[in-house]
Structures are given as structure tokens and as C-alpha cells.
Structure 1
Amino acid sequence: MFLAELNWLAIVVATLAAFVAGAVWFGPKTFFPLWWKLMGKGPGEEPGTGNMVVLFGSTFVAALVEATAVASVIYFVAATDPGFGTLQGGLTGLLLGVGLAAASSLSHRLFAGHGFRVWAIEVGSDVVNLTIMGLILGSWR
């Protein structure tokens, strides 16, 4: 099966890189304060409910699943393109981010009443993270 042929070290590194990028994106000096306000939350409210280990652990596992999916797409696309590398990997991640993550989440956010700006902040992180994953995975095939 092709999963055994994936570069699992690259997948873990891509996961960690995206996890760090997400932490920076939603940091206290970047988009978190605006996002939190747009979500209708006050300064005294804390994000997430319950155990933070479960919250961050689940986030990490989700990023690992994303990185595995990006690596799988790259595996199949690169099989037909011997020159596939970093740039193509980044473009693959960008395409997956815009074409799947951004497009599919827009209606969810708008129908939930969260608005376009909440969607833009959240999906911006997704697109950046998937692009970073693609760059790393494309360079380490």
C-alpha cells in the first residue's frame, strides 16, 4: 500500500511546522484578539472548553491527518512528474487550501452567523498551513 511509501519523518515535520504556524497565526499579537472579538467573545473568556491537553492534542492529530493527506496527493501527482519538488509541493498545498479548505468552510461559517471576517481569519491559517506542509513535503519526497 502507498502509505508505507510516504516519508513519515517529513509528514511529522510538516505537522509540527503547521502547528507552530497556527500558534503564531492565532497568537496574542496577531489574529487572535480580532478573531476572538468577531466571535462575540469577551477578554475574560478563555478559548476551548475542558482539558487543554485534549484540545491541543486533537489539533495536532488533525494537522497530522492533513499532512498525511497532502503527502498522499503529492505522492500520486509526483509519480507522473519527475521534476516535482518544493515549488510544486507548495502549489499543491495552496491549491488544496483554497480549493478544499477555504471553499468548503465558507458556507459553514456564513450560515453559522460568524461572518466573512471570521472565515477569512480561520481559512487564512488553513491555507498558510497547507501551503507550508506542501513546501516541506514537496522538498522531501
Structure 2
Amino acid sequence: MEFNYLAVFVAAIVPLIIGFIWYNPKTFGTVWMKHAEMTEQKMQSANMLKIFGVTLILSFVLAFILPSITVHQMGAFSLVQGDLGIQPSYETFMAEYKDEFRTFKHGAFHGVIAGLFIVLPILGINALFERKSLKYTLINVGYWTVTLAIMGAIVCGWR
């Protein structure tokens, strides 16, 4: 099972690019600021180098784990990590099925599924306890769903 480090690197940049667009005042930025109780003063007082640096590191972590969600062959590969190692049957299986479901469309599908069934419950629960609005939740879940769809498409389809 080959691992495409270039795809992971490119996918790791996606949250920054989508975030720049998504949270821009011309898209959802102004509404998000209101519902996040964010002010211009808070934003200007932030250490942006630290924020973007840590964001990039965490985005690499996310991009690195995404193949396990989007690439079905990763499940087969995980089975051969035991004492027996890689057997001829695994080699035969991978020769026949290595390209199955390895498309941008399939990766985007699994990214959307992750957004709806992982991100939505997590951010939804946080928003309930933080007393945040539905708009705040939907803006953030929408961002992560779109971001994961694009990241999933890249790590699954780029070979």
C-alpha cells in the first residue's frame, strides 16, 4: 500500500485556504464573528503566526489520518501488520483491487460523511454547552464538511 505524502501535504494546506474564503467578511465571516462573540479587537490582538503555525501542524495530523477514512485499501493493509506479515494472498488482493474506489469523488464523499457524522456531533455538543447559536454551529460544521470533502478528495484520488 503506497502512501502519497505529496497528497497529504497538499491536503494539509486546504483548511487554511478554505478558512480564508469561508470566514471572509464577504462570505460567512461577519455572521461568524457575531455568533462567536469575536471582535475586531480580539482578532487584532491575536498571535497570528502561532495560530496559523499550529493550524498547519494540526492540519497535517488531520490529512495524515484521512486516508484511513477515505481509502478502503488502508483497512486491508492494516490486516497484514501482524506476525505473519505480508502474504502472497494480500499481494494478489492488492494487485486486483488497489485502484477500487480511489477517486476524487469517492474521497469527497467520505469527507462529507466525516463532516456530517463526526464533526457535526462534536461541534454540535460543544455549541450546546457553550450556548452558541445554531448559525454558529452550521457555519463551523459547513466549513469542516467542505474542507474534509476537499481533503478527502485529494488524499483518496491523487495517486
TM-score range, shorter chain: 0.7 to 0.9
Paired residues, what number? Answer: 136
C-alpha displacement at 1:137, in angstroms? Answer: 1.4
- Ranges in structure 1 where 5+ consecutive residues have no aligned partner: none
Q: Is the 8 A contact 1:97 1:127 kept in 2?
A: yes
C-alpha displacement at 1:48, in angstroms? Answer: 7.3
Once residues 65 and 25 of structure 2 are traced to their aligned partners in structure 1, the CA distance between those partners, rounded to angstroms, is: 30
C-alpha displacement at 1:30, in angstroms? Answer: 1.1
Give TM-score scaled by structure 1 length.
0.85
Q: 1:33 pairs with 18, 30, 35, which one?
A: 30
Equivalent residue of 1:47, what SS? helix
C-alpha displacement at 1:41, in angstroms? Answer: 3.4
Deviates more, 1:125-134 or 1:108-117: 108-117
Pairing 1:133–2:127 present: no
Give TM-score scaled by structure 2 length.
0.76
Letter in 2 for 1:94: V
Pairing 1:83–2:100 present: yes
Q: 1:18 pairs with 15, 20, 25, which one?
A: 15
Q: Which runs of 4+ in 1 moved over 6 A?
A: none
Pairing 1:92–2:92 present: no
Letter in 2 for 1:56: F
Equivalent residue of 1:108, what SS? helix
Once residues 37 and 50 of structure 1 are traced to their aligned partners in structure 2, the CA distance between those partners, rounded to angstroms, is: 17
- 1:101 is aligned to 119
Q: Is the 8 A contact 1:48 1:55 kept in 2?
A: no
Letter in 1 for 2:18: A
- Ranges in structure 2 where 5+ consecutive residues have no aligned partner: 77-96
C-alpha displacement at 1:78, in angstroms? Answer: 3.3
Query: What does 1:40-119 correspond to in 2, within 5 Å?
Result: 40-42=37-39, 44-47=40-43, 50-75=46-71, 77-78=72-73, 82-84=99-101, 85-119=103-137
